[in-house]
Amino acid sequence: MYFASNALARVVEKLSIDVWKKVDLSPSHAYLLMLVVEEPGMQPGSLAGQLRLTPSTITRLIEKLESRKLVVRTNEGKITNVYPTPKAKELFPKLIACATEFTTKYYAILGKEECDKLTRTMANMADKLDP
């Protein structure tokens, strides 16, 4: 189980790194950016929840996207809002295209049915095992 889950995560990671190289983003950066474009003003904590990453990791991801002028942060009190820049909105269709390409690729290799089922099962198990 340990190996299988890690091995699968790594090959999937590799496949997606490859796909998102087209927009010069890592998969995590890309998914975060898509979320922010779809829901401007989203907060780090909520992003962490959606992406299943820790808040500190989210901070680091945002920092990088900010340095590339793809998002901006506004800080009011203890909450921070993350907004996409026009540059990010422009990029959005390409992001979607990458996401689609990624899905198409692994569907082709593994079969749609199997894939969807596996994805559901994995998400389910991850939930159960969580804290």
* Contacts to a copy of itself by CB under 8 A: 1-13, 15-16, 27, 31, 51-52, 102-103, 106, 109-110, 114-115, 118-123, 125-126, 128-130
Nearer to DNA by Cβ, of 45 and 111: the residue is 45
Residue from 10, 12, 42 nearest 109 by CA: 12
Do 41 and 83 contact (CB within 8 A), yes or no? yes
Tell me: does residue 34 bind DNA (CB under 7 A): no
Among 16, 37, 44, 98, binds DNA (CB under 7 A): 44
**Positions in 78-97 near DNA (CB under 7 A):** 78-80
Shortest Å, Cβ 13 to a copy of itself: 7
List C-alpha distances in Å: 34 to 22, 83, 120. Answer: 15, 11, 21
Round to whole Å and give the CA distance between 10 and 36. Answer: 25
Residue from 3, 33, 31 nearest 17 by CA: 31
Among 15, 26, 72, 92, binds DNA (CB under 7 A): 26
Which uninterrupted H or E stretch holds 83? strand 79-84
Tell me: does residue 58 bind DNA (CB under 7 A): yes
- Answer with the entry of DNA, a copy of itself, none that 23 interacts with (C-beta below 5 to 8 A by kind): none
Among 5, 56, 100, 124, binds DNA (CB under 7 A): 56
Dihedral pair phi/psi, residue 128, rounded to 5°: -65, -35
